[in-house]
Amino acid sequence: MIEPQIIYSDADIIVVNKPAGLVVHGGPLVREPTLADFLLERFPEIAGVGDDPARPGLVHRLDKDTSGVMVVARRQEIFAWLKNEFAGRRIEKTYVAFCCGAFKEKSGVVELAIGRNARHPRLRGVALSGAEIRGERHARTEFRVLQEADGFSYVELRPLTGRMHQLRVHMRAIGHPVACDILYGGKNVCCPAGATRQLLHASTLSFSMDGGRRFQFEAEFPEDMAAILAGF
């Protein structure tokens, strides 16, 4: 297993930096170690926390090849509270990504409803893509270009809603797919030499706990993305 990093833990929560290449939890088609396995081994008390035994303490998830910060509940009361905070959009998340091409607008908002691709159910999309999309739900993403070089843009992304694959779908919809994201950018998507996964990282997560405690956690920048940024 690729070893996650424990960023923080107390009686209520565990915060981890999930490495790229690690699946968050098990399922019918998962035949490899998961983040849930790692957490259960080190924090066995989370076995009964949550809505699904396969997702102990897990309130949200990241795609297998997306790295970055996640928060996990250690108690059922905290699980319910965090779930409500995510649903109410009171938990702030910031991502960074390398995207294809140069943005005409260096900051802005993408507000395009996201739904399931009728022909390919594992994919999400927006109606303007030309594909048949079902079950569309409102989705909003803020973006800000941080640096540009050699046909790539280094971008900060803030999802203001929590749709599946939201950032990847929105970046593709505006013509700047996440670098190396074959699923949404296609087999010829831009990809820096040596990169082997979609270059998307959940960098910060912040929220206020009951009693007014304010937390902000930052996940260490992954080596593959750091090497690319150093070459800009």
| 13 touches 71 (CB < 8 A) | yes
Nearest Cα neighbor of 62 from 134, 154, 167, 135 is 167
> Model pTM?
0.94
Which pLDDT score is estimated for 130?
Answer: 67
CA–CA separation, 159 and 182 (whole Å): 21
Q: Tell me: the pLDDT tens digits for 23-44? A: 998 776 767 899 999 999 999 9
pLDDT recorded at residue 42: 96
Does the residue 217 lie in any domain? no
Q: Distance between alpha carbon 4 and the CA centroid of its chain, in Å?
A: 15
Question: Among 63, 88, 113, which residue terminates a domain?
Answer: 88
Cβ within 8 Å of residue 210, ≥6 positions away? 81
In the predicted model, what is the mean pLDDT of the chain? Answer: 93
Regarding whether 96 and 30 lie in a shared domain, the answer is no
In a domain, 209, yes or no: no
Tally the domains of the chain: 2
How many residues does this entry show for the chain?
A: 232
Among 46, 68, 88, give the residue marking a domain's end.
Answer: 88
CATH number at residue 227: 3.30.2350.10
The catalytically annotated residue of 63, 65, 181, 224 is 63
Co-location of 75 and 133 in the same domain: no
Predicted pLDDT at 32: 86
Q: Residue 20: which domain range?
A: 1-88
**Is 63 among the catalytic positions?**
yes
Q: What is the structure's pLDDT at 30?
A: 63
Are residue 1 and residue 100 in the same domain, yes or no? Answer: no
Do both 137 and 41 map to the same domain?
no
Query: pLDDT for 95-147, tens place per residue?
Result: 999 999 999 999 999 999 999 988 887 889 897 766 788 999 999 999 999 99
Residue 162 covered by a domain: yes
Answer with the one of 48, 67, 88 that is the final residue of a domain: 88
What are 35-74's pLDDT values in tens digits? 999 999 999 999 999 999 999 999 999 999 999 999 999 9
Which residues lie closer than 8 Å to 32 by C-beta, 6 or more apart?
23
Q: What is the largest CA-CA distance in the chain?
A: 50
pLDDT digits (tens, 9 = 90+) for 190-227: 999 999 999 999 999 999 987 778 999 999 999 999 99
- Do residues 136 and 197 lie in contact, with contact meaning Cβ atoms separated by under 8 Å? no
The whole-number pLDDT of residue 118 equals 85
Burial letters for 85-124: b for 16+ Cβ neighbours within 10 Å, e otherwise? bbeeeebebbbbbbbbeebeeeeeebebbbbbbeeeeebb
pLDDT tens-digit series, residues 141-176:
999 999 999 899 999 999 999 999 999 999 999 999
Which pLDDT value is given to residue 28? 65
8 A C-beta contact, residue 50 and residue 31: no
Q: Are residues 45 and 133 in the same domain?
A: no
